[in-house]
Amino acid sequence: MSVPDDLQYTAEHEWIRLDGDIATVGITQYAADALGDVVYVDLPAVGATLAAGAIVGEVESTKSVGELYAPLDGEVVESNAGVVDSPETINADPYGEGWLVKLRIAGDPALLSPAEYRALIGQ
Amino acid sequence: MIDQPDPAAPSQAPPPAAAPATARRSPLHDEHVALGASFTDFAGWQMPVRYSSDLAEHHAVRSQAGLFDISHMAEIAVTGAGAAGFLDHALAGRLSALAVGHAKYSLVLAESGGVIDDLIVYRRADDDYLVVANAANRDAVVAALTERAAGHDVVLDDQTDRIALIALQGPASAAILAETPGLEIEALESLRYYAYSDGAFGWGDARADVMVARTGYTGEDGVELYLPAEHAPALWRALLAAGQPHGLVPAGLAARDTLRLEAGMPLYGHELGLSIQPSQAGLGRVVVTAKDDFVGKAAIERGPGDDAPVLVGLAAEGRRAARAGYPVMSGEEVVGEVTSGALSPTLGHPIAMAFVHPDHAAPGAVLDLDVRGSRIPATVVALPFYRREA
C-alpha cells in the first residue's frame, strides 16, 4: 500500500501536499482500495471557505459512501473537475490525477507524518 | 474521509484491520489469498469481497464469466421416508411435487408468516433432499427444521463444513465447463434451469462427485458446483485456468451484490425478514396455500394487511445511489424505505429496491429518494432491472 514520503496525512485517510500556503488534498490509496470502485464524487465549490473537520463532500463507491472532511481551515482555490467526470481516476492514481481540491490555508496545520499514517493503517 | 459502510452491503469498507480470530474460512481461502483478494467478514466467515475491482468483476459476469466462492452457504441434507412430507410441512412450497434432479426456490416461514430464510431445495432421490440456506441463517434454519422434524421419519444432517460451493456465472459458463480438464458432467447440454446433473472431478483416487446445478444469483446463465471441501481448491484452479481464454475472472461478494440487485433478487435481511410476509416481497407465488398445512399457513391466509408495504424497484438518474435505510418520499411524506441500492454497473444509473406504501407502488409512480438530505426523483419500475437476453 503506497504511502508516499513527501505527503502528510490525516486520520480520516486523506493526504495533503503543502506548497507554500496551497494545500492539495486527496484520499489515500488505502482509503481508495477500501472503498472499492469510486463511481461518484461531490466536491466543494471554488471559493468555498472550509473549516477543518467539516464535511465538505462525498466519495461514493459501488458499495459504500465516504464523507470527505476538510483536513484544514482554508478556501477552495481549485476543484478537480477531472475526478468528477471520471471518478475511477481516484482508484487509478490517488496521489496524482486523482487529487480532489486545492486549498489556500492559513497557519500551521497539525497533520500526520507518513510514518504515523503507516502505523495508523497497520503497515 | 470517513467511511459509512452501507449496512446493506456484504462488504464493509474500510475493512477491519484484522479479521476476528473466530472468523471461519472457506476451503478455498488459500486460493483467494494467492489471488490477492480483499476479504470481508460475512456472517462470521472471512470471504473475498473483491480480487481486482468490483466493476470489472461485475462486467465480466455479464459479458463473459465470473467464479464465486460461496462455500459459506449452508447445506443441510434431509433424508428418510418422510422427507417429502416433512418439507411440505416445514417449508412454504410443495417439495413433494419436486421431480428428482430438479431444484426449487422456497422459504422457511415463522408461525407469524414472516421469513426465517429463503433457500434452494434440490431433490436428489425420492427420500433425499439437499436444503441450501444463507450462511447468516444457518443456525435459525437448522433449529426450525429440527423442531419441525418431530413426528416425521427424517434425518437432518448439516453438511456445511464438508461441502464447498463454487458458482460459475456468465454467458461463457457452458464453454468453460466443457473445457475444464477432469470435470465430467452428465448431459450438460440438456441441463435445464433449476435442474442439476451428476458430475465428477479429478482422476483415479482423487476423484470426487460434483453436483452441477443450473442455478445462481446473478441473473446470468451459469452453474453452482457442490463438492467435498477437500477437492474444491483443485476444481477452483482448473476452472480458472480453463476459463482464462474466455475472460473468466474470480469475483467477490461486492460484485455478487450488485449483480443480484440488478437481477431483482432479494437478499435476506434487506428484502426478506421476519417482519415481512412473502407476498410483500413479491414472493406470494412461492407459498403454496393449497397444501393441507405448513408452518405459517394461518398467518399467510390472514395476510399482511392492506396497508402493508410492498417491494418495488426504483430507477433514478445521475450517479448518486440511495442505500439501505434511506427514506422514500412522496412530497413531504415518508412513504417507504430503501432496502438495497447501488449505481447499476450494467445500466449506468442508480437503482434501488424499497418497501413502499401500496398507494405508491404502481409502476410509473414518481417518488423521491432522500439521499443524505438531497432529494433525487425515482420512478417505480417493474423488477428485475436487468434481464439477460434469452
Q: Using the beta-carbon criterion (under 8 Å), do B319 and A63 form an inter-chain contact?
A: no
| B1: nearest CB among A39, A66, A122 | A66
Q: Give the ipTM of the model, two decimals please.
A: 0.84
Q: Using the beta-carbon criterion (under 8 Å), do B11 and A36 form an inter-chain contact?
A: yes
Which residues of chain B lie closer than 8 angstroms to A121, CB-CB? Answer: 17
Q: How confident is the model at residue B101 (pLDDT cuts 50, 70, 90)?
A: very high
CA–CA min distance A46, chain B (Å): 19
ω into residue B266 within 30 of 0, thus cis?
A: no
pLDDT score for B187: 85
| B2: nearest CB among A12, A63, A122 | A12
Dist CA B30 CA B50 (whole Å): 15
Whether A13 contacts chain B with CB within 8 A: yes
pLDDT in tens, B253-302: 999 999 999 999 999 999 999 999 999 999 999 999 999 899 999 999 99
Nearest CA in chain A to B324: A64
Best of A14, A37, A50, A121 to disrupt the B interface (most B CBs within 10 Å) is A37
pTM, rounded to two decimals: 0.92
pLDDT in tens, A103-119: 999 877 789 999 999 99
CA–CA min distance A53, chain B (Å): 10
Q: What is the mean pLDDT of residues B329-336?
A: 98
For every residue of B227-271, DSSP letters joined together read EEGGGHHHHHHHHHHHHGGGTEEE--HHHHHHHHHHTT---BTTT
Q: Using the beta-carbon criterion (under 8 Å), do A61 and B13 form an inter-chain contact?
A: yes
Instruction: Show contacts of B13-18: CB within 8 Å, 24+ apart.
Output: B13/A34, B13/A35, B13/A36, B13/A61, B13/A63, B13/A64, B13/A66, B14/A13, B14/A30, B14/A31, B14/A34, B14/A35, B15/A34, B15/B39, B15/B40, B15/B49, B16/B41, B17/A121, B17/A122, B18/A122
Whether A59 contacts chain B with CB within 8 A: yes
Q: Give the least confident one: A110-114, B24-28, B32-36.
A: A110-114
Dist CA A57 CA B1 (whole Å): 9
pLDDT score for B231: 97
Amino acid at A59: V
Q: Which three cell numbers stand for residue B241?
A: 485456468
Which residues of chain A lie closer than 8 angstroms to B9, CB-CB? Answer: 63-64
Whether A53 contacts chain B with CB within 8 A: no
Q: How confident is the model at residue B10 (pLDDT cuts 50, 70, 90)?
A: very low
CA dist list (Å): B52 to B38, B71, B251, B342: 9, 20, 8, 19
Whether A21 contacts chain B with CB within 8 A: no
Q: Is it the case that residue B62 has pLDDT exceeding 70?
A: yes
